[in-house]
Structure 1
Amino acid sequence: MFLFDKLLRKKSNVVKGVDYISNLPDPILHLILSRLHSTKEVVRTRVLSTRWRYLWTSIPSLEIDISHGPKPLSALQKNQFKEFVYWVLANRTLDLDCFTLDCGDHCDMSTIVWWIHVAVMRKVKQLDLTFCARDTGEAFVLPRCLVDCNSLEVLKLDMFMCYLSLESFTGSKTLKRLCERLTVLCPKLVYLEYGGHMANHFLFEVKSLKKAVIELEEMEQKNEFDDYFGVTICELFFQVFHVEYLSINYFFVQSISFKCECFNCPKKGFPESLPSLKTLEITIDGYLLDVLLRILKCSPNLDFLHLIIYKDSSPDQYEAFVGELVEVETTRILTHHLKKVEFLEFNGERETLAIAQFLFEHGNALEEIVFGWSNKDRYCKKSRKAMNEVSKFYKASSVVKVITLLKDQ
């Protein structure tokens, strides 16, 4: 508000009859407008002078958040909000780099879909929508124009009390638990984050993709899909094999391991090479080291490995893990690019400390090891003793940092 208040004091910008701020080039004025708190404040600058009247219509990004207004909203205020969004989009004169909208539960699905259509017409590059369904379990039908949008690079959908539906697509079914086919045709997309439940088949035309984050949820009734579930997981893996940054969670890696055991690792579906991969973030436990090693072996240009080790209650897992670690070839492959290690649900276990000691001793490139405690009482009682023990370990890397913290419950 401070910057906006200064702009409204028009006389302070005028020296000997010359308005120096208004005479600045458009890119600089756009930069000034970008520092304002909200799009609503940006629009208000049109009253400053004739020069500013239409300037706001050419700013590259719009951000509209209903949560910044008064609470609760009256029916009149809700209508005013919708009219404001309509008016802002209708008065755009240039294409949109980014459109961010948080409308809570104050707009129906048809209104949101209309706004998406207008944003696509403005050749939006990044679309970030947050909304909540008025009726629990309501479907949000993804508009066809959004999936086929040639300009779209980043799409973020934060939906509450509703689920995504692809019913407008030929051969597709509603994404409530599973969808039959998931097709994404965005030739300029550079970032993809896929979370929730699995589709049965994938088609991603995203050759420009640079970063992929896959956070799958474990299904409650996976048994009925056991005949092909692992193959489907690897099908998804194959679609993103060309990315530079890949983050995959525990359930995704576990499913790849399942596929390898049941289908003898046929080449189809599992990439033979990840030629562009530079950064890998992966969560494993003692039984999933083989999947990690396979990924590392086919990633010739990997620079940064962030390894998250998920604790399991079985001591046998740790024995198996350490047994594989001590193999010469495994040690060489694993520690060559290992930069960060994070131990989840750590509570001072000797087995975990043994793995940490091994990684300290062989990780020449190691930069950080994090011990994430899950039990507050044990953290208070044992963390100092455990870290004193860690401090005595030999460390192959001279720059490695040791962090111990209590994870949020």
Structure 2
Amino acid sequence: MDRISELPDELLFRVLSLLPSAKDVVATMVLSKRWQFLWMFVPKIVFDDSYQDIDYARFSRFVDRSLILHKAPILETLHFKLGKTCGASDIHVWIRAADKCCVRELVIEIDTSSIVILPRSLYTECSMLVTLKLKNTILVDVSSSVSFPSLKTLGLLSVKYPSGDFVQRLLSNCPVLKDLRVEQCPGDNVNIFTVKVASLKSLCLHTSNDRVVEDAHGLVIDAPCLEWLDLLDNTGGFCIIENNMPNIVNAHIDVTYSLPGKIMTSITSVERLDLCLLTSKDAYPVGSIFCRLVYLKICTCETEWLNLLMRVLGDSPKLRALRLERYHACRASQSRPYWSEPSSVPECVLSNLETLEWEDYEGTEEEKEMAAFILRNGSCLKKVTINPISTSLLKKLEMIKDLSFSPRSSPTCRLSFDCCEGDQ
């Protein structure tokens, strides 16, 4: 302990920031005189009222006293993990204290079985915030303007809103927002979630499968500077992209929209694409070219996945890496994918594709024909990795045998099977 105590204050503050809760940090004051006041300057505090099963009244007094005594000129992170008995009045006091401590990152997580309405002071007394993350909370409406002039990162996870108009007003008052993450939950009072943020660089928008909306529902996105997009919505609905996003580098699109074409035509600059769509015919208009795409991941859960794959391959001349993986369960009544060998080989298969990874390979006739097509025409292939889904060793061996004897265009292509050791 003496050797640790000799470390500089700044380093000790960082060490204390790694402790799980404020209670642990404050407890270090008994170690020695050197440690007696260090806890007051720690730049990160986590208050967890479920920690060590303390009663809420004691927890509330502990938070009040800790924030009053805290002396760090800037509090980098203030994180609350609150349970069933927490009330808005306490949060109001703590938010005012957070503003006085010049908090840069504020995180408020509420127990899922609780209903906690956040106070209006959140919108008006946290002008120094750079990061705000809310989980399982309810936001109240405000007649006065919302003000987050410095906010760059915003997380709204299972949050309930007064209305869809409030969401637009909230985002419009975050003039330098760069990173937005949203998880829509049942009963959030927003049928059409609108994101219009000119400064936004990263958008993650997930919709819970439990969310049921009787009226028309969907997304409206206007973020022309976006570089990273993650959309997950398997509830149907729609998505409107009001302006193209020419700076998109990474995109994850997992939706059940009947007409996803506008999304796809807005992200043709993408370099890495993770895709799961219901359809291939209307996935995007003919003539769209993904001229920068080098990595493609396709989900194999839908009947149309093979057609979708061949279409994207044909429109991605620079593709180097392909991964096939099923990350949704197939429906019981779903028909088998249809495979028809194309009349011409996609340019990327002939001249650029280097790796193929295939998870959950079933060895159906359609899959065998597609795999053989890639092996037969992939002149630049370096490695093909197959992970069979079957639990039967005999069935796996049959799959391995079928592919091992398939002709290969590339003499250096290595065929590997995750179910066994060694390469073929």
- Measured against the shorter chain, the TM-score band is 0.5 to 0.7
1:220 to 212, 220, 229: 212
CA distance in 2, matches of 1:45, 1:78: 22
Q: For structure 1, which segment, 61-70 or 182-191, has the greater mean C-alpha deviation from structure 2 after superposition?
A: 182-191
Q: CA deviation at 1:52?
A: 2.3
- Give the counterpart letter for 2:25 in structure 1: V
Whether 2:142 is the aligned partner of 1:156: answer: no
Q: Residues 243 and 307 from structure 1, CA distance in 2 versus in 1: closer, same or farther, beyond 3 angstroms?
A: same
For residue 26 of structure 1, report the CA deviation from its aligned partner: 1.5
* TM-score, normalised relative to structure 1: 0.65
Whether 2:46 is the aligned partner of 1:69: answer no
The reply on whether 1:191 has 2:179 as its aligned counterpart is: yes
Task: Give the CA deviation at 1:78.
Answer: 2.3
Shift of 1:165: 3.0
Which deviations, in whole Å up to 9, do the C-alpha atoms of 1:244-280 show, x marking residues without a partner? 3211013488512xx5xxxxxxxxx5222332x2211
1:265-317: CA deviations, max 9, x gaps? xxxx5222332x221111146955634531332x2xx33222245699xxxx7
- Distance in structure 2 (CA, Å) of the matches to 1:282 and 1:107: 37
**1:101–1:274: structure 2 CA closer, same or farther, 3 Å change rule?**
same
1:270 correspondence with 2:242: yes
Structure 2 CA distance for aligned equivalents of residues 147 and 338 of structure 1 = 48
Q: Which residue of 272, 279, 296 maps to 2:267?
A: 296
Corresponding residue number in structure 1 for 2:64: 86
CA RMSD, 1 decimal: 4.7
Gaps of 5+ in 1: 1-6, 8-12, 14-19, 260-268, 405-409
Paired residue type of 2:275 = L
Q: What SS does structure 2 have at the residue aligned with 1:123? A: coil
1:179 aligns with 2:156: no
Larger mean Cα displacement after TM superposition, 54-63 or 109-118:
109-118
Output aligned runs, 1:3-402, within 5 Å.
7=1, 13=2, 20-70=3-53, 73=54, 77-94=55-72, 95-132=74-111, 138=115, 140-141=117-118, 143-146=120-123, 149-159=126-136, 164-170=138-144, 175=160, 178-182=163-167, 183-184=170-171, 185-187=173-175, 189-196=177-184, 197=188, 198=190, 200=192, 202=194, 207=199, 209-217=200-208, 220-223=212-215, 225=216, 233-234=219-220, 237-238=221-222, 240-251=223-234, 255-256=238-239, 269-275=241-247, 277-284=248-255, 290-291=261-262, 293-297=264-268, 299=269, 302-308=270-276, 318=303, 322-323=306-307, 326=310, 331-333=314-316, 336=319, 340-346=323-329, 351-352=336-337, 354=339, 364=353, 368-371=357-360, 380=391, 384=396, 388=400
Change (3 A) 1:353 1:249: same
Q: Which runs of 5+ in 2 are unaligned?
A: 147-158, 281-301, 363-388, 420-424
Q: Secondary structure at the match of 2:47?
A: strand
8 Å contact from structure 1 (residues 310, 343) kept in 2? no
Question: How many pairs are equivalent?
Answer: 342
Partner SS for 2:164 = coil
User: Which protein is richer in helix relative to its size?
Assistant: 1
Kindly provide the amino acid, as one letter, of the partner of residue 81 in structure 1. F
Cα distance change of structure 1 residues 187 and 340 upon mapping to structure 2, 3 Å threshold: farther
Residue 211 (structure 1) shift: 2.5
Q: TM-score scaled by structure 2? A: 0.63
In 1, distance between residues paired with 2:415 and 2:117? 47
Moved more, 379-388 or 336-345: 379-388
Distance 2:360 2:66 in 1: 48
Q: Structure 1: how far apart are the matches of 2:242 and 2:12?
A: 50
Distance 1:241 1:42, change over 3 A: same
Give aligned-pair identity as a percent. 18
